[in-house]
Amino acid sequence: MNPQRKISKLSRAIKVLHVVGARPNFVKVAPLMREMSKYKQKFEQKLVHTGQHYDEEMSKLFFDDLGLNEPDIYLGVGSGTHAEQTGKIMIEFEKVCLEEKPDLVIVAGDVNSTIACALVAVKLHIPVAHVEAGLRSFDKTMPEEINRLLTDQITDYLFTTCKDANQNLIKEGITRDKIFFVGNTMIDTLLQQAEIAKKSMILENLGLRDNDNLKRYAVVTLHRPSNVDNPTVLEGILTALNELAKEIPVIFPAHPRTIKQIRNFKLQEMINYEENSKAVGVKKASRKIFAIPPLGYLDFLRLMSEASVVLTDSGGIQEETTILGIPCLTLRANTERPITTTAGTNSLVGNDSQEILGRALDVLKNRIQRKKIPKHWDGKAAVRIARVLRKKAKAGF
């Protein structure tokens, strides 16, 4: 650590700012805030929502599902180009840091808010902790990869989900004393919420479960620019999914930007889009993709946990399906979470239409078996992080 940034031992509770910018960040931060709240004499916590991705109804639903209080500070930066968004976050977060004078800033994941707030804190000589450090896809065309690389280079405490991440950081010149293999806070949340999610009525609302009878079905999520910004690629993926829909219902909680691109490319006839997931069941969507708006955390967890197969280009879903034992086909050429392919239930299939369909049909015939649960994916990652931070706080960071 830069010696200029070392703070003296504190007799008071240290002030911690947790930064979230998108819904996956909520899932990663919730268990850590819950664990740190057990030590009120040690930590004074505030939650900062940058507003990078913000839908009032969806954000409230996620906060309610995860037991999070409303953000203490909301920056409201909204959308824009990567440069515009990152710049707006930095300008607004600097004001917050100057007013709040935190002793520690905690960022999570790999969104623009992650690098923007880490960079602001570093320049103000405020220690930074990165939850989910060290993940690498080795694909610098992905903006998330740039965010991951840069954030880890300027972070003081790097909390990793797997040993692969540790090795990535060491190869990049990060000293071992900064790296802490703690496990996966997303899995903490999943394990904490799994029983509650069973009470969700999403399967009944969608007509997938009738009393004790459960239909086989697939779940799809799609939002990466490489998949949704090219009309030929997007049409090919939708073609494969419609072929799959002839075998089993395909449920598609669709990102608003993905729906926008489907409409822009005049591909809306390839899906059945229902504005209200509680309005009708999948009978309306027979033999065609059934698209609905994004779901809350508990509804999506229930939907995913009973699926025959999940097809996604998301990162976190690769991890969640590994724990749930659900076959996952990742519609990308690479992943920053390779442990899900070596120890979990995930396979990389790319975005070729025939490959997607062939692999999906194969999974329906020969279900992928989880090899093992990755080490420290046991629901105690937040406990380990809080333990490290208590120790560091006692030493004055």
Residue-wise pLDDT tens digits, 242-258 = 999 999 999 999 988 89
- Checking if the pLDDT of 183 tops 80, the result is yes
Sheet order of strands, 289-292 included: 271-273, 289-292, 250-253, 218-220, 309-312, 328-330, 346-348
192-208 per-residue burial string, b: 16 or more CB within 10 A, e: under 16: bbbeebeebebbebbbb
Please, which pLDDT band fits residue 158 given cuts at 50, 70 and 90? very high
pLDDT in tens, 331-377: 999 999 999 999 999 999 999 999 999 999 999 998 777 778 999 99
Q: Does the pTM of the predicted model rise above 0.85? A: yes
pLDDT at 316: 96
- Phi–psi pair at 107, nearest 5 degrees: -115, 160
Hey, what are 332's tokens?
Answer: 């990308």
Hey, what are 84's tokens?
Answer: 């515009």
pLDDT at 4: 46
- Phi–psi pair at 327, nearest 5 degrees: -60, 135
* Percent of the residues in the chain that have a pLDDT greater than 90, as a whole number: 81
C-alpha span between 100 and 136 (Å, rounded): 33
pLDDT at 54: 65
Positions marked catalytic: 223
Residues 215/331, Cβ–Cβ less than 8 Å: no
- CATH for 194-365 is 3.40.50.2000
For CATH 3.40.50.2000, list the domain ranges present in the chain: 3-183+380-394, 194-365
pLDDT in tens, 184-220: 999 999 999 999 999 999 999 999 988 788 999 999 9
Q: Has domain 3-183+380-394 been given CATH number 3.40.50.2000?
A: yes
pLDDT in tens, 225-238: 999 999 999 999 99
